[in-house]
A and B are shown apart, each in its own frame.
Chain A
Amino acid sequence: MKIGFKLNEKEIVIHVPPDKRAIDVLREDLGLTGAKEGCGSGECGACTILVDGESKLSCLMLAAQLEGREIATIEGLERDGIPHPIQEAFVEHGAVQCGFCTPGMILSTVDLLKQNPDPDREEIRKGLSGNLCRCTGYQKIVDAVEAGANKVNSTIKGPASKE
């Protein structure tokens, strides 16, 4: 089946079986291995992608559901070679250990901050509770999201609007 969608800002058309899982389309057909599979049943969040800006689990989506959508994967988060402020914050604040949950965690964060640009630590914990991490104990992830939210906000508002 022919499926057309926007992937990381580029229009693409691919031929795949409509019932192929979206994660397999991304990883096997398109070579985007940033979306990870940790469980295949929607429990761990490692396969998170953004569909029309909303975080979705690509292991529970079928290829046909990509049709006409705007998809962002972790590979598409950089802009002109400059990492997204959340990516930078994850590096700087030590939120990355084995890193297998990281792409999903970052994309969930992007969605969370869109809905709530200034979350407190409890709200961050709630917002990311669908993404499992076995290495960090989440504390440094929460640190990174807090710091990253400030960066995102100052980027959006511009330095002048900072208090």
Chain B
Amino acid sequence: MMPKNRTLQIGQSVPRADAFKKVTGEEMYAADYYGKDLLWAGVKRAGIPHARIIGIHAEEASLLPGVVKVLTHRDIKGTNRQGVIRKDQPVLADERVRHAGDGLAMVIAEDRETLQKALDLITLDLEPLEAVLDPERAVMKDAPLIHDDNPGGNILLKGLIEKGDPDSALKKCDMTVEMSFRLPHQEHAYLETESGLAILKDDNRIEIIVSTQTPFRDRRETAEAVGIEEGRIRIIAPYCGGAFGGKDGINVQSLLALACLHCPGRPIKMWWSREESFLASCKRHPAVITCRLGASSDGLLQALDTEIVFDTGPYDHLGGAVMALGMEHACGPYRIPDVRISARAVYTNNPIGGAFRGFGVPQVAAAMEQMMDILAKKCGISPIEIRLLNAVAKGDKNPLGTTMTGSTGMLECLETLERDPAWTDREKWKAGAGPFKVRGTGIASAMHGMGYGPLIPDTANAKIELTRDGRFRVYSGVVDMGQGNASTCLQIAGDILNQEMTRMELVLPDTDRTLPSGSASASRTTYTFGNALIDAARILKERILNRISDMMMIKGAEEMALIPGAVRHLPSGKEISLADAARMMTGEERIVTSRFRAPVAGDAPTKDQALRIHGIPHTIFSYGAHLACVEIDELTGRVEVMKYVAVSDCGRIINPQIFQQQIQGGISQGIGYALYEDFIMDKGSILTKDLSTYIIPTALDIPDMKSIAVELPEHTGPFGLKGAGEIAIDAPLPAIANGIADACHVRIERFPLTPERILEALEKGQMRGDTA
């Protein structure tokens, strides 16, 4: 570990800049802001999945002492619609309830007790409509429409990508496998539930401190929804207490802005309870995936035909984009000549499907990577062999037809994994299982595209300042939701400017102070912002050195060097402190901004403009090869992940510790997705309402994980980096499922693989697919 008195350098495990204030409790999250004369705001939610709104009776509630306001859709002057692409989600429902978590009225009260009492006093007059709870039902002709104005009926978005002739290719294949998989909802379960504090100030502007991944987009969406000018809103985004995609989009923002317009001058706080968060927030999309995969007898893939149905719930949120990314990754990181990928994102009255780390890829990887294992077995080759045989490499066209021009380390990942002792010694390890226990090892590969795709500009604007007192201040435009990118910004700037962490400071995203830089999402954060920041820091460095060399009448900046806190003239050894240097520069000179836009793919696998807007195709991908070593208790059906190895190609690593954090965290959420996180619905109501019934992994459920990086440089990346935020969540589920199949010869199509499902499969001797 690097001592504090060293300058920051790329490639070193520097402890995170944010860690110290987090361990002392000093760091303020959005949930930690209160304020003098505080008001509390809360929402009355529908509780039933589909209904016509006849009336909202709030008279009694509004008369309760301590209640300041009760607001409904009638109090909203703006569009009352939110959404990233299709704006179909009301701030407060107007005519229709579309899921149980829809809000119908907001109460603003002097304290929390009064708020709760008032919410209980509101009665809703709702005429129940048939709830559409199954995507299959949703697409039937006689199914009730969830949005009357959607041209596709209950289909939010559909897409078809075809290359070659998959039907005849599949007929000619020596080996084919066909199977369906059903993937469940997954709850983000960030520890900080949705929260914010807002105030309408004397200057008639609304300031919102909120736990969000998307401050600049929030500002625009909120302004439109409540009907005020965008410039009247300031969004301040502190470190999030976790987000994972769940705070990519509006939650409390518009509600708070609306509350402010009706209660000027007083701070208003909204903080969802855990149960409310489960009820009203978005989830990972459930999916049903049916595929046919064919190969020649030697294991060379020939054709894939896959059909994907995503349950997007009642609102787009980012459902169309999730579907598109799922389609783009449905073939996995393999060469397949003939493919058909058809997909639909379907509206239902279930909880909202939205962004969640992985963004459609964990679902399709679950299917494809299990199919690969089934096929390998049929062809009589090992799961690593079949993947090595078919892996995409740089220069290849991927199955969609995009040329892989960036670093493409799938083969390197697999080769590294193949050499790992956990793989080479697997038979010995498996033989060590105790009585009534069986062990298996499972492999899965993954690829993950980075950024927004071809049509939405993926840009970032960095800003850096030499402060008056000679320190460097980095204005981060992208939220740090826990992944450490803010600290990485300091490491990047510190390396270029040759400074220690203690001489640098950060300004976290704030629409008044930092520059628009897009969302903290899509594995893009450090790639896009980092590139912009490198440029800004280099320009500032050159500017300081030039300024000082002019001042000192020195031949040129090449004789000067930045050292911690000063500029040194190398031939003479003379130094000028950065504080003195700052005094010689104007305020404007001391600030540099720079913009970067991520590259897009040159070739187009689809002409479908809707799919392109939703992100197809990407051009830069990260890769991973994972190995799960699992033990199954044959008496209880319980699965334990005993060992785990992840090999990743995320380009060069700026901070190994932060990189490992991303990989280990992704694996853990993936283990939860595979084994524990059973999100149970009944007639549109969530039965697993909180963390006592929806089980996320504890310290006892996750093994020590080994994470290896194959550091192939990505030439467009900041110091050769590619995104690392999502790649690790794509492979754990299929790796574990393949491990279970290896141990006890069962394939289960419904996830998560709970002990009940495992036991049932063991009893039936279920061997779907593998023997088909």
Chain A residues in contact with chain B, CB under 8 A? 27-28, 32-41, 43-44, 46, 73-75, 77-78, 83, 87-88, 90-92, 94, 96-103, 106, 121, 124-126, 128-142
Contact = CB atoms under 8 A, between A and B. Distances in A.
A33 B195 CA distance: 14
A98 B699 contact: no
8 contacts: A27-B32, A98-B191, A129-B698, A129-B700, A132-B691, A134-B669, A134-B696, A135-B665
A36 B241 contact: yes
B699 A125 contact: yes
B273 interface: yes
A134 B24 contact: no
A9 B556 CA distance: 59
B189 A92 contact: no
Contact of A38 (B20, B193, B661): B193
B273 A135 contact: no
Given A36-B31, A94-B16, A98-B482, A87 B191 contact: no
A83 B23 contact: yes
B192 A96 contact: no
A125 B665 contact: no
Contacts of A27: 32, 34
B160 interface: no
Contact of B691 (A43, A99, A125, A135): A43
A96 B27 CA distance: 12
B28 interface: yes
B645 interface: no
A65 B30 CA distance: 28
Contact of A134 (B244, B274, B705): B244
B702 A137 contact: yes
A41 B698 CA distance: 16
B484 interface: yes
Interface in B232-274: 239-244, 273-274
B239 A98 contact: yes
Contact of B242 (A74, A90, A124, A134): A134
A91 to B, nearest CB: 4
Interface residues of B, number: 56
A99 B24 contact: no
Interface in B651-672: 657-658, 660-661, 664-665, 667-669
Contacts of B193: 38
A89 B241 CA distance: 20
B52 interface: no
A98 B481 contact: yes
A101 B23 CA distance: 10
B423 interface: no
Interface string B16-27: 101110111111
Contacts of A87: 23-24
A134 B698 CA distance: 9
B230 interface: no
Given A99-B241, A103-B25, A137 B696 contact: no
Interface string B215-243: 00000000000000000000000011111
B16 A140 contact: no
Nearest to B193: A38
B28 A33 contact: yes
A32 B704 contact: no
Nearest to B15: A91
A102 B23 contact: yes
Contacts of B25: 32-35, 73-75, 103
Nearest to B664: A137
Contact of A28 (B24, B27, B34, B244): B34
A134 B661 contact: no
B19 A139 contact: no
A129 B242 contact: no
A51 B130 CA distance: 52
A139 B704 contact: yes
A98 B482 CA distance: 4
Contact of B699 (A73, A74, A75, A124): A124
A102 B22 contact: yes
B692 interface: yes
B690 A83 contact: no
A107 to B, nearest CB: 10
B535 to A, nearest CB: 28
Contacts of B669: 134
Nearest to B190: A134
A90 B23 contact: yes
A137 B406 CA distance: 30
A139 B242 contact: no
A134 B189 contact: yes
A100 B691 contact: no
A77 B190 CA distance: 25
A135 B16 CA distance: 15
B362 to A, nearest CB: 16
Contacts of B13: 94
Contacts of A132: 189, 191, 691, 696, 698
A91 B191 contact: no
B191 A90 contact: no
Given A129-B700, A132-B191, A98 B24 contact: no
